[in-house]
Structure 1
Amino acid sequence: MRTSRRTFLRRSTRQSLAALSVGHLATGAPDLVTPPIESASVPTRRKPDHVIRSLPEHMVWGYFGADVPPVYTVKDGDVVEIQTVNPSGVSRTNPEEFYQKNNLPIDAHAQEVIAIMKKVKPEPSGIRGHMLTGPVYIEGAQPGDTLEIRILDLTFPANFGVNSVWPGGGGIPDAVTTRETFVYRYDTKRNVALLKEGVEIPLKPFMGVMALSPPAETGRVSSIPPAFFGGNLDIKHLTKGATLYLPVSVPGGLFTTGDGHGAQGNGEVSGVAIETALTLTARFIVHKGRKLQMPRAETPTHFIAVGLDKDLNRAMKNALMEAVTFMKDELGYTFNEALSIASTGVDFEVSQVVDQTLGVHAMIPKSIFTKRKFSYWT
């Protein structure tokens, strides 16, 4: 940018970083001023350095943990293609039935899903959650660092997705009396998902779950509630071209992903989105000694601050404090100025109300800071 601004991420020796900073610094960390940031030299489209297929041996069913062995090791800066599945609607006892009942082909991807459902075991202690690919060990990532995940591409390996409603689930659990599953078929030429004639949902794919491992002392945790290490954030803006920043708590970070969504409204109010298989292509960049307290994100047009809590009111307050802190500490405004800007120029959106820990995210538009130019890798 042409004018200096404080940020937790100084330009690294290997590559420049997108403009987002992350609010809270490690205790005792000095204030940093970033010089003008140049565009990253690596193109957004490139052949991946690694491909992690959606095979049973690459999957973990529903949990994160420092003791979960990595399925793959990559280097800092590598581009990695990670294939995921989303077996929503598919039963473990008879996985073929879902495809037969809905007139869907049992093609190569469906065969992978069927094999995964038959071979991958749930967590022995009873923890339940999403079918995930990983973990991936990133060389050089150590506790106290930050991992930058640049989302280079998201593609569909199957031409449909699934949404469901069920008693006791979603945002109005007591109002739902019957379970029903809806198959959305994709028209990729027009980039829409079709429920029935006259209902077309624009496709905007994103990964519902992107996480690093929690600290070792936490033990294994379910992938359902999001937390400071990421997880089931369900922020629909984390699509192609976005960047997510997560704190590293264990050696290698142990990145795990899944819960692909073809599209989702803010709130995810039925309990799920258009649940779909997705292939994520991402670049991993380690930032040494720059500690995060909460996930942060960035798009070409916005900074995104995240608030989480079991109570939606507190999640909103946390998102507001994260946004104000970002504008105060990283853009140089006073607390009162930042709060005023948040009230007049920032949108607060409910990410989801269905994941036990609820989410609100603040969309801070870059365009309102007219004296600044924010460079970005895309």
Structure 2
Amino acid sequence: MSIHSVKRSQCHLAWDNSITPILRVKSGDTVSFDCLDASNGQITPTTATSALAALDIATLDQVNGPIYIETAQPGDTLQVDILDVVTAEWGWTGVLPGFGLLADEFPEPYLKIWDLPAGAHHAWFDKMKGIKVPLRPFAGEMGVALREKGPHSTIPPYRTGGNVDTKFLTKGTTLYLPVEVEGALFSTGDGHATQGDGEVCGSAIETPMKITVRLSVVKNKPYVKTPHFSTHKGVDDPNGYYCTTGVGPDIREAARDAVRHMIRTLGAEHGLSSEEAYVLCSVAADLRMHEVVDMPNYVIGLMMPKSIFGHKSD
């Protein structure tokens, strides 16, 4: 299969199915993206907190692409195998006025610059106080174009992906996205060195990033109507997780959708009745608040441990 490259300058600021693709690739091809951070290069390792007042909010959360995948048609699923994720050697976390779960309580800007040495597994939050955090790099933005015409902001997540800000989309994870337009039109960006569930202050450790993915068209997963993902072994469970999501402006309804999507998935992939699947969701799966700050939509995931499947009876 072919390998393709996308430059930092090959980016856009809205999900729009009328944008001309920068590449046309075959199903199964690999694409490497060189992405700026979510500030679109406005924040650097020498930026001071005072400079945030001049930040151009309209240019935040750009994504690189779009990529047209041959044979992708509405109703198909785009399988995104995340092959590699490499951060820059620095990053930033900021409190930006108007952003975050407690935006009304934190109106003043704040900026922290992080040191991210190559190959490091942790980053110091405060050496003097003995606080460091594990690094778990991933791209916050991964998505395909919506069927609805016109530009759609890259700030919120959608049923087709976008700013899902889900910390499990690390190297080795496979993401599944519903295709709504011919060619899918995949884009990615918003590099994160690490993030907690929810991204409560509105930013993770934001960083420039190189992301390599394999893009494949799947014809036999019509039940994928929102982002699904499958983590690899050892990610919070011996065999990893399969996760379905609900995406929308109401947290409870997004949670209900995440469960509905898992019920359909368990029926299609494991032959369970709806009642059996519903009960299994209750006793084995975990609801997670993946994204709660990029309005108007939330991302709620239902994570099913893969270790419960494939056992032989005694």
TM range, normalised to the smaller chain?
A: 0.7 to 0.9
* 1:20-169 pair list within 5 angstroms: 49-54=3-8, 56=9, 58-60=10-12, 62-88=13-39, 90-91=41-42, 98-101=44-47, 129-156=60-87, 158-169=88-99
- Preserved CA contact (<8 Å) 2:38 2:190: no
Say which structure is richer in strand.
Answer: 2
Aligned counterpart in structure 2 of residue 332 of structure 1, from 261, 265, 271: 271
5+ residue gaps, structure 1 = 1-41, 43-47, 103-121, 373-378
- State the match for 1:27 in structure 2: none
Contact 1:63 / 1:129 at 8 angstroms: preserved in 2?
Answer: no
1:180-259 matches, cutoff 5 A: 180-197=110-127, 198-215=130-147, 217-259=148-190
Deviation string, structure 1 residues 184-234 (Cα, Å, up to 9, x no partner): 11134441122221221111011111111111x432111112112111111
Counterpart contact for 1:89–1:162, Cα < 8 Å: no
**Scaled by the length of structure 2, what TM-score is found?**
0.87
Matched letter for residue 222 of structure 1:
S
Please tell me whether the aligned partners of residues 245 and 297 of structure 1 are also in contact (alpha carbons under 8 angstroms).
yes
- Structure 2 gaps of 5+ residues are 49-55, 233-239
Where in structure 1 do 4 or more consecutive aligned residues deviate above 3 Å? 98-102, 126-129, 187-190, 288-292
Pair member with larger Rg: 1
Deviation for aligned residue 1:99: 4.1
Q: 1:361 aligns with which of 301, 305, 308?
A: 301
Q: Which amino acid aligns with 1:331?
A: H
SS at match of 2:290: strand
Give the distance between the partners of 1:276 and 1:147, measured in 2 at CA. 26
Moved more, 233-242 or 135-144: 135-144
- CA distance in 2 between counterparts of 1:169 and 1:87 reads 14
What is the number of equivalent residue pairs in this alignment?
294
The verdict on how the C-alpha distance between 1:101 and 1:299 changes in structure 2, with shifts beyond 3 A counting, is closer
Question: How far 1:87 moved relative to its partner?
Answer: 4.7
Contact 2:45–2:91 (CA<8 Å) still a contact in 1?
A: no
Measure, in 1, the Cα distance between the counterparts of 2:126 and 2:41. 21
Letter in 2 for 1:183: I
Out of 224-233 and 265-274, give the one that drifted further: 224-233
Aligned partners of 1:127 and 1:222 also within 8 Å:
no
After TM superposition, the structure 1 = structure 2 runs for residues 229-378 of structure 1, keeping only pairs within 5 Å, are 229-288=160-219, 290-291=221-222, 292-300=224-232, 301-356=240-295, 357-371=297-311
Query: Could you tell me which amino acid in structure 1 is paired with residue 273 of structure 2?
Result: T
Return closer, same or farther for 1:77/1:341 CA change in 2, 3 Å cut-off: same
Structure 2 residue identity aligned to 1:213? A
Distance 2:197 2:146 in 1: 26
State the AA in 1 paired with 2:299.
Answer: G
Distance 1:89 1:185 in 2: 19
CA distance in 1, matches of 2:146, 2:96: 31
1:100 positional shift: 3.7
C-alpha RMSD of matched pairs (Å)? 2.2
Q: Give the structure-1-normalised TM-score.
A: 0.73
- Give me the identity figure in percent: 35
Q: Residue 173 of structure 1: SS of its match in structure 2?
A: coil
Cα offsets for 1:308-358 (capped at 9, x unmatched): 121112111111222222223321222222222212111111001101100
Kept after mapping to 2: 8 A contact 1:63/1:128: no
Q: Which moved more, 1:335-344 or 1:307-316?
A: 335-344
Q: Is the 8 A contact 1:187 1:194 kept in 2?
A: no
